[in-house]
């Protein structure tokens, strides 16, 4: 079977665990060389080792522009180009209704989930434009399309990611740089498990919203990212792709 990303160079943020790590591993299986980026140095190094010779780790806090710029430069310095990027780093910010949410938590959630994606796009796009093309996937959420009571900061950040994605896609439609978003449904990741551990009722509530009757797997989200970054998706840009077991098919 032919690989989907032979010889491509990819940068993936939030790649030490969960969807990001599964994505890094999937890209490597499909022939890409992968820069694993995360603030979790131990987890990121482990992910890069799992990938093998085609993997490198770069510490990157996506809220800090200097670190984002350094990550993009590292990919180019090591492999000479940047063909794909998956801007996946994100946090939930923890539950809290609007009146109960303090400004610090609001600002932190938007800094990671929204400003972080903006900074990644800001530094990835010029490199891809200069080399004549590339593909970017921003990790949004089903919460980027509908409201979720108790997560106003998370919802606002993920709605913003979809607006950024569409704008970036339109700005680059003639440059050869495609920009899309994935909207995962409830996926079995450390992030979701942490939320559910804080409220034992939450797991039942979450599963009740999924027609498929189970949580998604990180690898299932990763496969969508692989396809969107492959040449098979050459006519796809500005898309907000739901990968959610039918949760929002209503």
154 counts as catalytic: yes
The residue among 168, 88, 161, 183 whose CA lies nearest residue 128 is 168
The residue among 61, 59, 159, 152 whose CA lies nearest residue 107 is 152
Point out the catalytic residue in the list 8, 71, 154, 222.
Answer: 154
Say which residues have a Cβ less than 8 Å from residue 198's Cβ, sequence separation at least 6.
Answer: 94, 95
Q: Find tokens 């492999």 and name the residue.
A: 79
- Helical spans, DSSP H, in the chain: 18-29, 41-51, 65-79, 103-110, 116-131, 152-171, 190-198, 201-208, 218-229
Kindly list the catalytic residues: 154
């Amino acid at each position: 079977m032919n690989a989907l990303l032979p010889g491509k160079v990819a940068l993936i943020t939030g790649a030490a665990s969960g969807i990001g790590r599964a994505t890094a591993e999937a890209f490597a299986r499909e022939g890409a060389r992968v820069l694993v980026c995360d603030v979790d140095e131990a987890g990121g190094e482990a992910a890069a080792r799992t990938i093998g010779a085609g993997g490198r780790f770069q510490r990157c806090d996506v809220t800090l522009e200097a670190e984002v710029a350094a990550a993009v430069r590292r990919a180019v310095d090591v492999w000479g180009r940047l063909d794909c990027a998956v801007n996946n780093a994100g946090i939930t910010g923890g539950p809290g209704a609007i009146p109960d949410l303090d400004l610090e938590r609001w600002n932190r959630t938007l800094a990671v989930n929204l400003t972080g994606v903006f900074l990644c796009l800001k530094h990835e796009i010029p490199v891809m434009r200069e080399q004549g093309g590339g593909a970017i996937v921003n990790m949004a959420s089903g919460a980027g399309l509908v409201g979720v009571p108790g997560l106003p900061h998370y919802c606002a950040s993920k709605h913003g990611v979809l607006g950024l994605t569409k704008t970036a896609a339109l700005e680059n439609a003639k440059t050869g740089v495609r920009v899309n978003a994935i909207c995962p449904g409830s996926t079995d990741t450390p992030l979701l498990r942490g939320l559910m551990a804080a409220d034992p009722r939450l797991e039942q509530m979450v599963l009740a919203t999924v027609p498929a009757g189970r949580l998604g797997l990180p690898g299932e989200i990763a496969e969508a990212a692989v396809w969107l970054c492959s040449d098979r998706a050459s006519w796809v840009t500005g898309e907000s792709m739901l990968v959610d077991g039918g949760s929002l098919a209503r």
